[in-house]
Amino acid sequence: MGYTSGQRVLVALFKAVNAIIPWHKLPPLIGALNLLALRDELREKNLYDTYPTEDFQGTTKSDPIVDTKFICARNSDGLHNDLERPKMGCAAMRFGRNVPRKYTAPPSDHDLMTPDPRLVSAKLLQRTEFKPATIVNLLAAAWIQFQVHDWAQHTNSQTKFHHIPLKADDPWPENPMKVAKTVQDEPLDEEDQKSMAPLRRPLASYVASITLDVDRIEGEHFLPRGHDGIPKTGFKENWWLGLELLHTLFALEHNAICSMLKTKNPSWSGDEIFDVARLINCALMAKIHTIEWTPAILPHPTLELGMNANWSGLLGPYWSKLFSNFGKSEAFTGIPESGADSGKTPYCLTEEFVSVYRFHSLIPDDVAFFKLRTGEHTSNIPIQDIAFENARSVFEGPQNLNFADAFYSFGINFPGAITAHNMPSFLRDLKKPDGEHLDMGCVDILRDRERGVPRYCQFRRLFNMPVPKSFSALTGGNATLATELSQVYDGDIEKVDLLIGCLCEPLPKGFGFSDTAFRVFILMASRRLKSDRFIASDFKDEIYTKEGIDWVQDNDMRDVLVRHFPDLRAPLKDVKNAFAPWGKVGRSEEYRGVQITAPEK
């Protein structure tokens, strides 16, 4: 597609500026323009299709619409979101890349295991003490998993394994440690012989894979469960109470939208109501993610302006609505209805996107639970005891909490900070219901290497970012951490894994995660909206109904929570962002545990 002349000027201008001043130290409006320039440059230089030709995205002849309702409705597998390239972004397609494929070659056995991924997990990821992220609440941790836990899933082999040799004193019960290999797509050309081409699982990039049924049991609404005790959702392998809460909440929201549509359109069939309600619910979630979750975890004035611009444009909601009568512009009126455009590269999620969203450090060791009506602290429950089939346990037995209690508890608990030495022991000794036993720290490192994700320094080069020349420079002068890195990576900074570098680099002021990860974020977050026909082109009354558009534009996460759990009004009364720590009510202030108490500075 290439730059427009205006984009070329903006990119060149801010390249010169950023050589002296980084974007996050500029005044907010200028910084927001800087982010636009960064995004334009990344769109031009950091998007790569992993298919030989665009024909693999499907055509109207090879993949015709079998039901014309999908012209105006989402398909659960993502087919026909793009009417000309019907398979683009849909289930079971390949992951794309944010770096040229020549840099994504499969590693040698030596490179795959160097340094030992188990050693990296133990020395650099293992939580030594809980470091809280005090700018957000535990719902923020659950939310990002709720958003991406299905998009980012690969297909793992049932028969082929990596074998990680362990030291004699390693307490792991099996030596070597076994980790299933990632399944690769069948090679389609010579390039595939040299580079990785993993497949996504059969879940679409555009559609939230939530179940939309709820059962009412003793006054509470619960998701229907399978024989394994886990709800019947589109994806459930990493289930815990955080996902239980959010899946239930947005199933209830879907049903509320259905009721509204039924009232406004009494002649509609059940399928019509369902399809439009799903459009509205998905758009509302996309908006919440864009202008609420992101500014919560990246509370920087430039980011708040920039993310709001993604949805409402630099003009803001009022002026955007006024000026939209004269035409839509992504920059000035926002991405919705500005016209879908995936640029020169077909839309897909990327391996590098998956890599920088490895946020396992967000998970705390345990959750402190409280009664909402009194604020009374009832218990601290380890994460493993509210995971998988036990996710519902707090609503049963001696705990006897309700959903409002659980949401309130998540609203005042802190997640972990996204930093080194902060992955919970539970995830480093994860026992899944199917019998699989994993050290997720070890797996995170192994997966990036296996899938050809460049290591930290090379990654920054390929994203046009400066590369640290020493471990001290990488850590921002943290001598202890620099020494640990040097010891693990044998003094070679080029060997530092992407995840480790992102966890060790100093953060821009107010940021919850690294600037390196953020570069992928600003590229892919806006791209997901811009490539989605139902957001970027068809976000209009004719598709959503006027009431549907109003529902999306007039509601936020706080509205959704209070609509279904009215008692949450009290802790949310003075809270501007539902992902920031909520107000404590009643006796909650008496509890001084680390789960809800910020460390003294």
What pTM was estimated for this model as a whole?
A: 0.94
CB 241 within 8 A of CB 386: yes
Residues 6+ apart with CB under 8 A from 447: 182, 355
CA 256 to chain centroid, in Å, comes to 25
Active-site residues, by number, are 149
Q: 553 falls in which pLDDT band (50, 70, 90)?
A: very high
Return the number of other C-beta atoms located less than 10 Å from residue 264's C-beta. 13
Lowest-pLDDT range of 110-124, 212-226, 314-328? 314-328
Torsional sign, CA 577, 296, 123, 129: negative
Residues 6+ apart with CB under 8 A from 184: 196, 197, 198, 199
* DSSP string computed for 99-160: S-GGG-PPPPHHHHTSS-HHHHIIIIIB-SS--B-TTS-HHHHHHHHHHHTTTTPBPEEEEE
Alpha-carbon span 338 to 350, nearest angstrom: 24
pLDDT in tens, 14-60: 999 999 999 999 999 999 899 989 999 999 999 999 999 999 999 99
Q: What proportion of the chain, given as a percentage, has pLDDT over 90?
A: 79
Q: Which residues are annotated as a binding site?
A: 360
Beta strands, E only, 538-589 = none
Q: 168 falls in which pLDDT band (50, 70, 90)?
A: very high
CB 501 within 8 A of CB 478: no
Q: 213 falls in which pLDDT band (50, 70, 90)?
A: low
Diameter over CA atoms, the chain: 71
Name the one residue in this structure whose structure tokens are 């609505």.
321
- Phi and psi at residue 451, to the nearest 5°: -90, 10
Residues 6+ apart with CB under 8 A from 419: 131, 361, 503, 504
Structure token digits, residue 554:
């007039």
pLDDT of residue 9: 92
Beta strands, E only, 421-543 = 430-431, 437-438
Question: Which CATH fold topology does 45-590 show?
Answer: Myeloperoxidase, subunit C (1.10.640)
Element (H, E) at 400: none
pLDDT in tens, 91-140: 889 999 999 999 999 999 999 999 999 999 999 999 999 999 999 999 99
pLDDT of residue 214: 54
Instruction: Look at residue 318 and tell me whether its pLDDT is greater than 90.
Output: no
Average pLDDT over every residue of 370-378: 97
Beta bridge partners, 101, equal none
Which residue, among 26, 514, 571, 521, has the nearest Cα to 293 in the 3D structure? Answer: 521
Can you give the residue ranges of every domain in the chain? Answer: 45-590
Average pLDDT over every residue of 537-548: 97
Amino acid (1-letter code) at residue 60: T
Return the number of other C-beta atoms located less than 10 Å from residue 33's C-beta. 23
Q: 207 falls in which pLDDT band (50, 70, 90)?
A: very low
pLDDT of residue 315: 62
Q: 232 falls in which pLDDT band (50, 70, 90)?
A: confident
pLDDT of residue 310: 84
pLDDT of residue 41: 94
pLDDT in tens, 468-496: 999 999 999 999 999 999 999 999 999 99
pLDDT in tens, 248-288: 999 999 999 999 999 999 999 999 999 999 999 999 999 99
Q: What proportion of the chain, given as a percentage, has pLDDT over 70?
A: 92
Structure token digits, residue 208:
């939230």
Pairing of strands 430-431, 437-438: antiparallel
Determine if the peptide bond prior to 115 is cis (ω within 30°). Answer: yes
CA 528 to chain centroid, in Å, comes to 12
Q: Which residues are annotated as a binding site for heme b?
A: 360
Instruction: Look at residue 157 and tell me whether its pLDDT is greater than 80.
Output: yes
Average pLDDT over every residue of 544-562: 97
Most confident of 145-154, 190-199, 336-345, 483-492: 483-492
Instruction: Look at residue 208 and tell me whether its pLDDT is greater than 60.
Output: no
CA 299 to chain centroid, in Å, comes to 17
Average pLDDT of the chain? 91
Beta bridge partners, 107, equal none
